[in-house]
C-alpha cells in the first residue's frame, strides 16, 4: 500500500500528534508499505527512514499563523499525489488548513481517506468557563470543518471516550477505534534506581492540568527532599508564566527544565519514582507508553482513556489537586521492588495492547478493508 499522511506540523515541539504520525509511518514503512508525510510548518523534524516528507512553511499572515495554511499547500499536495500515487490519504488533526484542503482533494480525486482527530474535539472538557474561543471553535467545527471532513471515507478514534464523542459529531460515519502505540525495544531495558523525583513530560499548555499537579505536590505530605520537574516545550507563554509564579513558594523543589530529547529524556524517565500525566483531556498520551516500555510506572487521569492502567501497576487519579496529591503520596511509598513490579506489569500490558506490532496489524487490516470497499 501507498499512504500519504497529512499533518499541519511535523516538528519535535508539536507533541503527541507528530509522534503518532511519525511512529505509524515508520511502522508501516518497515512492513513494506510506502509512506509520505505532507505537512505545513516551519523546521520539520527528519522523517523516518525511507518515508518521504514534504513541508511548506505557513505564511506570516492571519491564515498562516492561526490556520497553518500556505497557498502553496494545495499545489504541493496535488503534485505529491501525482508523483506518489497513493492508495489512501490519512488526515491527522481537525482544526487546521492542511486537513481541510486535503479532505476536498481526496474526495474530488476519489482517493479513500481516513480522519484521525487525535483528541482535538475534547476542547470544551478542560476549560472551566465558557469563552469566546468556544463560540469560534463551535462555529468552525459545525459549519466549516464538519461538512468538509465528513467527505472522508472513515473516521478514527484513539480511545473509547473519543469514539463516543465522534459518534455524535459524525453520526453517519462508522468510527473505528485503534489506540496509539509505541515501538518496543526487543532488549528489555530495566529502570535505574529511583530518585525521590516525579516529573511531567510533555507540552506545557492548559489542557495538561499542570496547575493542579503543582498544587497537589505543594499540599501533599511528601518530605522536603522530593522533587517535581516540569519537562517540555512551552505551548502557551501566559500559562507557563502563571505556573512559574505558582511554583515559586516551593523553591528548587519544582523546576521547569525545558524539553529533553533522546538519551537525556530516557535517563530522566528511568530514574523517576513515577511520571505524572495529569491531563484534563488526552488520548492515551505517549508518555504513559514510553515510561511503561522501560518499566517505570505512571500516575495519570481517567481522562487519558487508559481504563485498565490501575489494574496493571499504574495509578489513575482525578484531575483535582486533592486526588493527585493522594496519588503522589501513594507512589512515594513504593519500595524499589514494588516500583519495578508495577513497571514490569505495565510493560506486559503495553506488549499485549499498545505495542507497534499489535497496533500496526490493526492499521493494515483497516486500510485493506477500506481499499476492498472501493
Half-sphere exposure of 35 (CA within 13 A, CB side): 24
Q: Which CATH architecture has domain 197-354?
A: 3-Layer(aba) Sandwich (3.40)
Q: Is the pLDDT of residue 80 over 60?
A: yes
Tell me the percentage of the chain whose pLDDT exceeds 90: 80
pLDDT classification of 125: cutoffs 50, 70, 90: low
pLDDT classification of 115: cutoffs 50, 70, 90: very high
Read out DSSP for 316-328?
EE-SSHHHHHHHH
Q: What is the CATH number that goes with domain 2-183+355-372?
A: 3.40.50.2000
Per-residue pLDDT, 372 = 93
Per-residue pLDDT, 81 = 98
Please check whether residue 354 is in contact with residue 289, taking contact to mean a CB–CB distance below 8 angstroms: yes
Examine domains 2-183+355-372 and 197-354 and report if their fold is the same: yes
Q: Is the pLDDT of residue 157 over 70?
A: yes
Q: Is the pLDDT of residue 25 over 90?
A: yes
Please check whether residue 357 is in contact with residue 364, taking contact to mean a CB–CB distance below 8 angstroms: no
User: In which region does residue 285 sit, left (phi positive, over 0), alpha (psi from -120 to 50) or beta (all else)?
Assistant: left
pLDDT classification of 85: cutoffs 50, 70, 90: very high
Q: For the chain, what is the mean pLDDT?
A: 92
Q: Is the pLDDT of residue 359 over 80?
A: yes
Q: What are phi and psi of 318, to 5 degrees?
A: -75, 170
pLDDT classification of 14: cutoffs 50, 70, 90: low
More confident residue, 43 or 308: 308
CA torsion 183-186-192-197 (nearest 10°) is: 10
Per-residue pLDDT, 84 = 97
Q: Is the pLDDT of residue 128 over 90?
A: no
Nearest to 123 by CA among 320, 302, 281: 281
pLDDT classification of 371: cutoffs 50, 70, 90: very high
Which single residue is written with the C-alpha cell 513490579?
341
Look at 72-76, 264-268, 350-354 and tell me which has the smallest mean pLDDT. 72-76
pTM as predicted: 0.92
Nearest to 287 by CA among 299, 8, 188: 299
* CA 261 – CA 122 distance, rounded (Å): 28
Length of the chain equals 374
Q: Is the pLDDT of residue 129 over 60?
A: no
Per-residue pLDDT, 337 = 97
Q: What residues does each domain of the chain span?
A: 2-183+355-372, 197-354
Q: Is the pLDDT of residue 16 over 70?
A: yes
pLDDT digits (tens, 9 = 90+) for 55-64: 887 666 767 7
Amino acid at each position: 500500500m501507498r499512504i500519504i499522511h497529512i499533518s499541519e506540523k511535523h516538528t519535535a515541539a508539536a507533541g503527541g500528534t507528530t509522534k503518532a504520525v511519525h511512529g505509524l509511518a515508520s511502522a508501516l514503512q518497515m512492513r513494506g508499505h510506502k509512506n509520505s508525510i505532507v505537512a505545513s510548518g516551519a523546521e520539520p523534524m527528519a522523517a523516518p527512514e525511507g518515508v518521504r516528507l514534504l513541508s511548506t512553511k505557513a505564511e506570516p499572515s492571519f491564515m498562516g499563523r492561526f490556520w497553518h495554511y500556505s497557498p502553496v499547500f494545495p499545489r504541493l499536495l496535488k503534485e505529491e499525489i501525482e508523483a506518489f500515487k497513493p492508495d489512501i490519504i490519512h488526515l491527522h488533526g481537525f482544526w487546521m488548513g492542511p486537513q481541510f484542503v486535503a479532505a476536498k482533494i481526496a474526495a474530488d480525486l476519489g482517493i479513500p481517506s481516513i480522519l484521525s482527530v487525535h483528541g482535538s474535539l475534547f476542547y470544551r472538557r478542560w476549560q472551566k468557563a465558557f469563552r469566546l474561543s468556544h463560540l469560534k471553535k463551535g462555529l468552525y467545527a459545525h459549519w466549516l470543518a464538519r461538512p468538509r471532513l465528513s467527505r472522508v471515507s472513515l473516521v478514527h478514534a484513539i480511545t473509547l471516550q473519543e469514539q463516543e464523542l465522534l459518534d455524535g459529531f459524525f453520526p453517519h460515519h462508522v468510527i473505528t477505534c485503534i489506540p496509539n502505540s509505541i515501538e518496543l525495544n526487543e532488549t528489555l531495558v530495566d529502570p535505574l534506581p529511583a530518585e525521590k523525583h516525579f516529573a511531567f513530560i510533555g507540552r506545557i499548555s492548559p489542557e495538561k492540568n499542570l496547575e493542579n499537579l503543582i498544587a497537589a505536590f505543594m499540599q501533599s505530605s511528601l518530605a522536603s527532599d522530593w522533587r517535581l520537574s516540569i519537562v517540555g516545550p512551552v505551548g502557551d507563554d501566559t500559562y507557563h508564566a502563571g505556573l512559574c509564579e505558582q511554583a515559586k513558594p516551593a523553591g528548587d523543589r519544582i523546576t521547569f527544565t525545558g524539553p529533553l530529547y533522546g538519551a537525556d529524556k530516557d535517563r530522566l524517565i528511568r530514574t523517576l519514582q513515577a511520571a505524572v500525566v495529569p491531563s484534563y483531556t488526552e488520548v492515551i498520551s505517549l508518555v504513559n507508553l514510553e515510561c511503561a516500555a522501560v518499566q517505570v510506572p505512571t500516575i495519570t487521569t481517567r481522562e487519558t482513556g487508559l481504563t485498565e492502567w490501575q489494574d496493571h501497576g499504574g495509578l489513575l487519579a482525578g484531575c483535582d489537586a486533592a486526588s493527585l496529591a493522594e496519588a503522589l503520596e501513594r507512589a512515594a511509598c513504593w519500595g524499589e521492588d514494588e516500583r519495578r513490579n508495577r513497571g514490569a506489569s505495565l510493560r506486559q500490558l503495553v506488549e499485549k495492547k499498545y505495542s507497534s506490532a499489535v497496533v500496526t496489524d490493526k492499521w493494515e487490516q483497516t486500510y485493506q478493508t477500506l481499499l476492498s470497499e472501493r
